[in-house]
Structure 1
């Protein structure tokens, strides 16, 4: 048998687009998603004690008399989608609203009283960490305990919060049982990992079995390898039959030979667990528009060139089915408090009217805060800060978290 020193491998999950190695040690590791033909494996350096009388006996290509390739190890395809699937449980309005100058979509943060704190986060729409969201792309449920489900197009993901879960997209199905076992099936490949070091790998007419006790088999329609885990095994292809009895003797096409016992098949590693969903903490979504996008200086009449932005906002609000939204106006500190308060209220009311004109059916309310809620300093060390004042002159649309 092949006496090449086994190469030790550890179970590795690389979620950046590579493979998961599921093996302990072997003289041969196949490529991800494929099984190398056994006859192409690297031969050992010696003839492992084959007798002189058997030198002319048939051999496996590349191997000394009586030796044959090991049962190959196998690998799972890239399972980055398992850990990456957690991101499918969050839906952000950014894509719906679109990319417009002076407009941002961010998570809304609220204080203990429930009042919105302007200016930070990424929206998840789940408030206390649980809830249900349904939109044109699909449905997301987050149960706050690390579990949840999502159905978006053809993709269905279930995360049970204990390291187990399922994934299906119409072509690929993955089951993760959370105890080191799992299954992977796509149109070409089927892999089973049983968590006790055993498993099966099938692609086309190639089947590899690892029984987890040092034994295993390989078959590809023409070649069959058996390793019985006690140093004995068999090899058969259309041109040769080899039996290794594990006691230093064997038979090649009926001719006795001396041959070393074969190494056991290394056990498999475990199926990688599925990351749980962290509870989501956001009280809703805040969409912010610079005043210059909507209004002329010191005016509360919506500019004609603001139509695309308002159209996008109305469309996004309609698609999400948000039951309510609060539109708030804000100014910088230039001018009197009373004037700024009045201007902020009129601007908020103008945006509400524009959204209603575009068919937004959810409850819309307007409020103005004047210069009382800045998100940036109007002055820095006593000097005017135009950039800060520009950030403070804004209209915010707050969509409270909603769901079941």
Structure 2
């Protein structure tokens, strides 16, 4: 199936005084494509096979495949006290493990790791101006202001909109729930109608805001047509879900639930005058399906290379302590999910210890109690949110 493209344009927003406002540099240049209307879903007349023998996608049951993923913005709360945002870096060795996402962590006052969406924190209490050897700050007393410090420029217009640039990262926030984020590795566009685009050089996500969406990463393509039907292909397995309770896996018809629609994107986090936070360490997150088969806690044989890489990095960095936590989505009972999360966390600990990791490792399961995304949206199942919630995390404190 192909997709046509629509271009979203925004009017120029002019600001008063020395803050020039959202000029031509803030025009939306990205677009969210609309799904093609000339591609038709084939009719399915075959009855489901009573006992399916079809191949499966890693981590999924027969006939199932991953949803179009949710967009994930970097944690925009991690600004330091000099306003040079995103200076908190993850060790390069930790950031280069296939199947594992490394990100700065922030903690509460008791040292507990906080999970969830971040918000950009800027400054705007009182009015005045400051000029020093590292830059200038102007605060207009109405929540708006500008600053240029150590090559970082921030414009905050006081209504939730503003600009940020440090030579690598640029943020354009339009204050209406839409915005752009770009850095050296990824680009995110979120539009006020719930649609948007994501690209990081290895994968692209298109969310059309109407329940449909596309995902591409290497040989893997996922198409959700928003009516319960969709297609998955990874070069080895092809699954066509007809949306009528059946799916075609290769040449075998199996039972499969219709695909839930792709949720509309949420709002781009607004800028506000809030206190900064500092990173308390690094969190390594194993992507869903990397370690475990569907509903299992035994590490798959083909996950050995991922654990080998993690173990090698932990040992080479002389990490003294790490906390491994297991998390599930909300499908199933609380007790079952709690047990599954504990077993998965312990499997990772055992796998690392078997590979010679001498750091003090702890395993803890949280079941479904610490979601990082909604399991449901407006009462409807949210597979992409559940996908983010099914995870194993390794927290490495910054002081160790």
Is TM more than 0.5 here?
A: no
The answer to which structure has the higher helix fraction is 1
TM (norm. structure 1) is 0.42
TM-score (norm 2): 0.43
Max Rg structure: 1
